[in-house]
Amino acid sequence: GSAMAAVRDVEIDPEGTFKYILVRLQRPGGGEQRDIVRGTKAAEFHNHIFEKVNPEMEKLGYACKCLGGGKIEHNSKNKKIRVFGLSTGYGKADHSVTVEILKKEYTDYEITWSDDKK
């Protein structure tokens, strides 16, 4: 699983409020799977993020499925991340799963989630 290990759990902007998606990577034919978080201010829509991630992962031999989206508010100064909102196209990600993934990367942060729209 060295290729999967090379894929980072989390890639999000270091600051600000932006859209994010939760993506499931799967080896074709079952087996290995894991969920990753991707978010950036550069994406006007959630599908822009998926359109960037998908080909990268396919090159590594993974099938990608978007499990939903939302927004992330990243305050690096206060070490706080808030996960909220939803994606119109993909529906709402399970923010509690997203928080668990974020905690692996941002170990010293206070990370919360809610179903608030704003």
The binding site for substrate consists of 19
Please say if 46 is a catalytic residue. yes
Is residue 109 domain-resident?
Answer: yes
List, for residues 70-81, the tens digit of each pLDDT value: 999 999 999 999
Is residue 53 domain-resident?
Answer: yes
Total domains present in the chain:
1
Tell me the chain's radius of gyration from C-alpha atoms: 14
Sign of CA dihedral 29, 32, 36, 42: negative
Report helix, strand or coil for 56. Answer: helix
Residue 87's domain comprises 10-114
Catalytic residue among 46, 48, 74, 95: 46
Q: Is the pLDDT of residue 51 over 80?
A: yes
Helices and strands (H, E) in the chain, number of each type: 3, 6
Q: What is the CATH number of the domain that holds 103?
A: 3.50.20.20
What residues contact 25, with CB distance under 8 A and at least 6 apart? 4, 7, 33, 34, 35, 36, 57, 62, 63, 64
pLDDT for residue 88: 94
Mean of pLDDT values over 63-88 = 97
Mean of pLDDT values over 22-35 = 89
Is residue 4 domain-resident?
Answer: no
Is residue 5 domain-resident?
Answer: no
The binding site consists of 19
